[in-house]
Amino acid sequence: MIEMNRINHQFAIGKKGKERVIPVLHDIDMQVKQGEIVAIVGRSGSGKSTLLNLMSGYIRPTSGEIRVAGQAVTSLSEGEWANFRLAHLGFMFQSFQLIPSMTAFENAELPLVLKGIGLAQRKKKVMEMLEQVGVAEYAGHYPGELSGGQQQRVSVARSLILNPPIVLADEPTGSLDSDNESQLLSMIQHLNQDRGTTFVLITHDEQVASIAHRTITLKDGRLLNAYATGGTLVYETH
């Protein structure tokens, strides 16, 4: 579902003509297969969020090619990327990123509005999804009136409302207590098993990484692929 070939990325900081180049990612080659849950782990500053932003098209690599769901996306225009994201990708965020002035229903509904889905179909779809994640009774409440766990469930409903084949999650449990974390991880596993949804999880949390089929470690912008052999965990540098 996701292929990254020879990806390098760097940021330039400072005034024009006096920029300082900061390398972030080096020669990244990786694949995420359909139906996998893949966890990407590493220390702060290792390049995890940059890698996720490249997968989602919010930033472009300095060099290399990215394919998502079979589509070469590296050269897509901003408009093409926006349409592609809407059709293929869902997002979960640590900070939930709900719009404060919109109700739970309206937040979950937003991707359907952007997709041009009719009102009657939107109402049915949103209530079904809010019911599925356990917050249907709070449909008319604003984010500020919801607990952290309830806000996360609304965020999950919004990320899944278009049934995307791929969900990218950036520290999805970082703002949750242990009970809500367990519930969210169980939901991710059920979606993976029942729908075949592919998940890429950026995390510091061992509990989150434990549900992954495969864990990839980033260190100083380079991949360390972890795999088990004879009961010993071996790291292979790329």
Task: Tell me the per-residue pLDDT of 121-143, one tens digit each, with 9 for 90 and over.
Answer: 999 999 999 998 889 999 999 99
Task: Tell me the per-residue pLDDT of 58-67, one tens digit each, with 9 for 90 and over.
Answer: 899 999 999 9
Please, are residues 92 and 52 in contact by the beta-carbon 8 Å criterion? no
Instruction: Tell me, yes or no, if the pTM score tops 0.75.
Output: yes
114: domain CATH number?
Answer: 3.40.50.300
Q: What is the greatest pairwise CA distance in the chain? A: 56
Q: How far apart are CA 194 and CA 166, in angstroms?
A: 14
Task: Tell me the per-residue pLDDT of 144-169, one tens digit each, with 9 for 90 and over.
Answer: 999 988 998 899 899 999 999 999 99
With 0-12 / 13-18 / 19 or more C-beta atoms within 10 angstroms meaning exposed / middle / buried, residue 158 is buried
Domain count along the chain: 1
Residue 229's pLDDT is 36
**Cα separations (Å) of 109 from 10, 104, 119, 147, 159?**
36, 8, 10, 20, 10
Task: Tell me the per-residue pLDDT of 17-60, one tens digit each, with 9 for 90 and over.
Answer: 777 888 999 999 999 999 999 999 988 888 998 999 999 988 99
Domain containing 7: what range?
A: 2-237
